[in-house]
A and B are shown apart, each in its own frame.
Chain A
Amino acid sequence: MKTLWSGSREGSLLRYRAMAFTVGTGLLLLVFVGIPIQIWGHSKAVVAVVGPIHGYLYLIYLAAAFDLARRERFPISRLFVMISAGLVPFVAFIIEHRIVASLRAEERSDATAS
């Protein structure tokens, strides 16, 4: 995993993708497992563990998204979409997919243009 910590576009993209996947999964756990158990199971066990972990992972997700957006000169609107994608179940995966697709399309066109 050498590129994960490298200061390249690939490293930045990989960090963002890893965090998008982590935060997306964490949010699904929280919303579809933790909260139903809290409401109907009257147990805070899952929420008490997953909640804070997810909260702090989301901070790392913010940093990763910010790093990618700055590095690739994304317009601020796209960064907002990336940030809010981490707050809505399932959306983090979709936005991550589209960001990767748009960067890959750009690479392909750069390769053919040069």
Chain B
Amino acid sequence: MNRESDRQVRWVAPRALVAHLLVLCFVPGCLIAGWWQATVAMSGNGLSYLYAFEWPVFAIFSVVLWWNFLHDDPDEVGGRRLRELRRDESISGERAELRSPDFRTEDEDDELRAYNDYLAQLAQRDRAKGWRSR
């Protein structure tokens, strides 16, 4: 935390403003829902006691998340992105090396060239895939 507190937190960057907006909507929503469950619990629905305590926890969680998000070290997040990018490149690089002997020969006729272009396009699309599609 010491190192993080040295860094200047950007409270008005676009991503920070989105986070402010989300928290400003979500926290009152949680509190209203918690209050509503509390009133339901008071009127005799025992089950609602549990939910009345759960909603404020969601509100606290979102505030913790918001705080962490604002204090994220951009170098660390960026470093991870860079490593992922390098990894994806090295994986597709390996794949290209494995393929290269029987892939893209000198004496391609039109049909083969079209097919190889298609394969290259597929490889390109694989490279663009992120963690969601893996």
Query: Which residues of chain B have C-beta atoms less than 8 A from A105's C-beta?
Result: 87, 91, 134
Residue from the set B50, B84, B87, B90 with the largest chain A CB neighbour count within 10 Å: B87
A90 at the interface (CB under 8 A from B): no
Taking the closest CB of chain B, its distance from the CB of A49, in whole angstroms, is 10
Query: Which residues of chain A have C-beta atoms less than 8 A from B109's C-beta?
Result: none
Q: Contact: A52 with B47, CB < 8 Å?
A: yes
- Which one of A9-17, A20-28, A31-39, A68-76 contacts B? A68-76
Q: Contact: B80 with A98, CB < 8 Å?
A: no
A62 to B30 alpha-carbon distance, docked (Å): 15
B32 at the interface (CB under 8 A from A): no
A73 to B58 alpha-carbon distance, docked (Å): 22
Which of B54, B76, B81 touches A55 (beta carbons < 8 Å)?
B54
Q: Mostly helix, strand, loop or mixed at chain A's interface? A: helix
Query: Which residues of chain A have C-beta atoms less than 8 A from B64's C-beta?
Result: 66
- Which one of B2-10, B65-73, B118-126 contacts A? B65-73
Taking the closest CB of chain B, its distance from the CB of A51, in whole angstroms, is 7
Q: With A59-B57, A72-B80, A109-B87 given, can you name 9 additional A-B contacts, CB distance below 8 Å?
A: A52-B47, A59-B58, A66-B65, A75-B81, A76-B65, A98-B131, A101-B134, A102-B134, A109-B90
Closest 7 CB pairs of A and B: A52-B50, A102-B131, A109-B87, A73-B80, A73-B76, A55-B54, A76-B69
